[in-house]
Amino acid sequence: MTNNVFTPWTYDTWSTVYNQLEGTWGDQVNTTVIANWPVITDIAGAGSHPADHIEFVPQIPGDTNWIATQNLVGQKSQAAILAADPNKGNLIFSYFIGVDENAHMYGGDSPQYQEAIRNMDYNLGRQLPTSMGGSGLLGR
């Protein structure tokens, strides 16, 4: 990728983590990517050994601050975690574009950016209720 432009041939030389895991472990590992930015899902599918499961989550119509879309990424991530085969290695990568989008649209000191951070924390934190006490990654 150069300046946010996806160039698939880059990953023929510079392998992704998915290429490395799948190339080394094959069927002994499951790699999953759930993202609401197509560049992330494009990268997951590039190179010699792409991720096993790649899901692009498009922006929900009317969701101008990306919160509803981020919640959908969180729900799909939770479903992937619950469906993961405990007898295999699993890498589940979730990407939430709302934080980046709100920072660009409103600035890093804006309430919208803060809300997007809290929303991502909520979505990631609820994935680990036993190890995090259900409190979220920022302790809230």
Please write the tens of the pLDDT for every residue from 103-139.
999 999 999 999 999 998 888 877 665 554 554 444 4
Is the Cβ–Cβ distance between 73 and 96 less than 8 Å? yes
Q: Which of 48-52, 71-75, 112-116, 131-135 has the lowest mean pLDDT?
A: 131-135
Domains of the chain plus CATH, in order, are 22-128 (3.40.720.10)
Q: Which helix (H) or strand (E) holds 77?
A: helix 67-83
End-to-end CA gap in the chain: 35
Handedness of CA 44, 19, 14, 12 (dihedral sign): negative
Confidence (pLDDT) at 62: 97
Is the Cβ–Cβ distance between 130 and 123 less than 8 Å? no
Task: Give the C-alpha separation, 96 to 124, whole Å.
Answer: 10
Chain-wide mean pLDDT for the chain?
88
Residue 130 CB burial class (10 angstroms; 0-12, 13-18, ≥19):
exposed
Residue % of the chain over a pLDDT of 70: 87
> In the predicted model, what is the mean pLDDT of residues 43-58?
97
Is the Cβ–Cβ distance between 106 and 113 less than 8 Å? yes
Confidence (pLDDT) at 129: 53
Is the Cβ–Cβ distance between 34 and 95 less than 8 Å? yes
Q: Which of 9-23, 32-46, 112-126 has the lowest mean pLDDT?
A: 112-126
User: Is the overall model pTM greater than 0.85, yes or no?
Assistant: yes
Task: Give the C-alpha separation, 30 to 25, whole Å.
Answer: 9
Binned at pLDDT 50, 70 and 90, residue 32 comes out as very high
